[in-house]
Chains A and B, each alone.
Chain A
Amino acid sequence: MFLLKIPIRPLFLLISAVALFLAPLSGAASAETPSEKAARILRAVDDMWRGESSRANITMKVETQNYRRSMRMEAWSKGRDFSLVRILFPLKEKGVATLKAGNEVYTYLPQTDRTIRLTSGMMMGSWMGSHFTNDDLVKESRLLEDYEAAITFDGARNGRNETDFSLIPKPTAAVVWGKIEMTVAEGLIPVVETYYDEDMKVSRTMTFKDVRVFGGRRLPALLRMTPADKPGEYTEIFYESLKFGLGLDDSFFSINSLKRESR
């Protein structure tokens, strides 16, 4: 229940997603066409997932009509395929760990000392009571592969250079969005992403705020997901700390590591 009807871009990828946008626009050829520019930025985004590893301390705030909760967690990621999130607080869920390895999602439940694999039926379920779904953990964000990108605005706005992208899914892409609109400010700082459903109605909005420096990179520390159909509700993710290039081994993201004590 409480299904977010539509999957969003991956939460875990967001952990390092912010990093992508840091890639400087250096070497941009002056003769670049808008579509080439869009492709270059998106490709840079895609390429940056690979080999990248990160570790983050995150607080998540969920505000819904029925409850309000605040959680602390630590998260690791490696490339596109691996991510691991472990809950530190509240006490009731301390030690609950979610592992994404390839297309599978596993959850470790310390209370019962069991690890379960999430099946398709559970994928649309809310992740930890937030506005993110389990599916968000699995779906990969390959904007360039799945979407036809166009630049709809490129220039000075709000006292800085901003670029608006309009991403329309390719006919063959297995995505649920009708369209994604994205604004990226200079320095590849994402500002806002608006997700449209297949009827081209706004489904949810992700805003990026509070740009800080993490590991020498400037990126927004605060991500807020607002579902369009539930006024007043949102999920906020705040990066307390974020480190890159940890050289994590693939075995770090194994089912066995789910149980490991937080470090």
Chain B
Amino acid sequence: MALRNLGRNKTRTGITVFSMAFAGFTMILYMSLVAGFFQTLEDNTIGLDLGEFQMHAKGYRSDPDLYKRIEDPASVIRTASERGFNASARLYGYGLAAFGNSSAGVMLRGVDLENEPKVTRISGSVMEGSWLDRADPKGVVVGKKLARTLGLKPGDELVLVSQASDGSMANDLYKVRGVLKTVGEVVDQAGFLMSDDEFRRLLVVPTGAHEVAMTRRNKDVPLDAATAEASKAFPGLEVRNWKQLQPILARMMDMMGTSVKMVIMIAYSAVGMIILNAMLMNVFERIREFGVMKALGVSPARIFLLITAEALLSAFFASVAAAGLGAPAALHYQRHGLDLEMLTTSMNVSGMALDPTLHFRLTPAALGMPIFFMFALVVVATLYPAMKAAVIRPVEALHHQ
């Protein structure tokens, strides 16, 4: 009967269903976008640059300095491995890179070429050219924006000047082996990566490392538990997980759920008005019809249910339409990405860079939440009209003009 009723006024039903479907469709896309955005952010931040955990010598993080080193990184890596972590040592320094007439400040990173790929995917995210190779100690890999600033491409030769740990001037010629994709704000803008051997030679740092980055081998171990485990294993070092290293990102991720729900509420409250209005009109137009039904002995509860059923049916059609259109659209952008290059060249969120191409991510929540909220909203918005219809007095209704 509800279905038949819906068919009676096609325009009204159409507008209601369409507005619901449109809101649902938009929300599915929006949520997929947000989910994709954060997934990319997390992948980039942790998977390309940070690692899940980082360890430093005490005091290094508050005041980084060439001399504050983890003394025996090899044994740290070994111990970490025994505790279920993949670990890789890194060395950091600062210098000036000059190419042609331009020069720029760079962040030197000495990379443990054997272990780094076990921790991050940075070796695989070379945009042009190729990754570092021990056989080519003078071949370096540079960040994307740095390459743009200096006009570098693979094969170019550049001068690096820095200060070695003995106070002497460190300088040498290097050849660009590769240019990285977007990795993270710092690496993009100033990253100058070389093998750890070459870093040690150039800056006269025979032993130690400034940072050991780690990831869990078993992702089922909770982050906090793993952090505690690592802190216990390395009492002399400062152990931080990525949430502590990037508290803003971590908080944003936590807040994502809440903020998305709020956006849905706001968007849906507008749709809610339309539904409320449509259902109210519906009830008033059909007030005589309900009066007759009442007179024929139909109980108020049944009328209430009838109207609710009509609304829910509309919502069902709307959901099918929203999901039917939204899911493929989201999947399309998940595969191909939404290119925002025309709007911006690159984005970064508190120091973490993102590609201008946004990949959506159709998660169960991204599909389910908008639909769930739509039904919830329809029930709420229909409550008042349905009650009104249910409690109608047949005599008054029949006299109603």
Contact with A along B145-180 (1 / 0, CB 8 A): 000000000000001010101111101110000000
User: Is there contact, CB below 8 Å, between A119 and B105?
Assistant: yes
Q: Does A66 contact B (CB under 8 A)?
A: yes
Contact with A along B88-116 (1 / 0, CB 8 A): 00000110101001111100000000000
Nearest CB of B to A71, in Å: 9
CA of A129 to CA of B166 in the docked complex: distance in angstroms? 8
Give the residue of A66, A93, A121 whose beta carbon is less than 8 angstroms from that of B96: A121
CA of A128 to CA of B161 in the docked complex: distance in angstroms? 11
Query: Residue on B with the closest CB to A1?
Result: B94
Of A32-40, A107-115, A153-161, the segment with at least 4 beta carbons within 8 Å of chain B is A107-115
Q: Does B65 contact A (CB under 8 A)?
A: yes
Q: How many residues of A contact B (CB 8 A)?
A: 28
Within 8 A of B (CB), among A87-133: 90, 92-93, 96, 107, 109, 111-112, 114, 116-119, 121-122, 125-126, 128-129
CA of A137 to CA of B277 in the docked complex: distance in angstroms? 76
Range, interface on chain B: 20 to 34
Give the residue of B67, B102, B171 whose beta carbon is less than 8 angstroms from that of A112: B171
Q: Does A201 contact B (CB under 8 A)?
A: no
User: Is there contact, CB below 8 Å, between B103 and A117?
Assistant: yes
Nearest CB of A to B173, in Å: 5
Q: Does B66 contact A (CB under 8 A)?
A: yes
Q: Does B64 contact A (CB under 8 A)?
A: yes
A1-B64, A1-B66, A122-B105 known; A116-B159 Cβ under 8 A: yes
CA of A143 to CA of B96 in the docked complex: distance in angstroms? 31
User: Is there contact, CB below 8 Å, between A1 and B159?
Assistant: no
Query: Residue on B with the closest CB to A65?
Result: B67
A109-B171, A114-B98, A114-B159 known; A66-B165 Cβ under 8 A: yes
What are 6 A-to-B residue pairs whose CB atoms are below 8 Å? A2-B66, A65-B67, A116-B96, A117-B103, A118-B96, A122-B103
Chain B contacts to A: CB under 8 angstroms:
64-67, 93-94, 96, 98, 101-105, 159, 161, 163, 165-169, 171-173
Chain A contacts to B: CB under 8 angstroms:
1-2, 62, 64-69, 90, 92-93, 96, 107, 109, 111-112, 114, 116-119, 121-122, 125-126, 128-129
